[in-house]
């Protein structure tokens, strides 16, 4: 099972919405994923245990080699399908 870390400012509101959309999309594609949410400031200490990082806020920190996808389109709806496809591509290539 692939692991996705979803980060937002407080690790609660927007990351919950994004994580839900990712799980639904991956389920439709037949890919099992586990999503966990965290605060942006906690990413450097947690990211190494995941296959991909998705953020809803500005992030300039270390990803320790973990692929990083900007998740804001999943909140705005503009470019959401492309973002979901990008996440799918990352986790299915690992």
The CA distance from 87 to 10, in Å, is: 22
Burial of 26 (0-12, 13-18, 19+ CB in 10 A): buried
SS3 54: strand
Catalytic position from the list 8, 33, 43, 72: 8
Reply yes or no on whether 91 is catalytic. no
Q: Where in the sequence numbering do the catalytic residues fall?
A: 8
């Amino acid at each position: 099972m692939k692991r996705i870390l979803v980060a937002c400012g407080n690790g609660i509101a927007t990351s919950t919405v994004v994580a839900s959309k990712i799980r639904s999309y991956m389920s439709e594609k037949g890919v099992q994923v586990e999503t966990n949410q965290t605060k942006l400031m906690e990413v450097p200490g947690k990211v190494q245990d995941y296959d991909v990082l998705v953020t809803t806020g500005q992030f300039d920190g270390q990803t320790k080699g973990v692929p990083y996808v900007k998740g804001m389109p999943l909140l705005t709806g503009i470019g959401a399908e492309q973002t979901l496809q990008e996440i799918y591509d990352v986790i299915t290539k690992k």
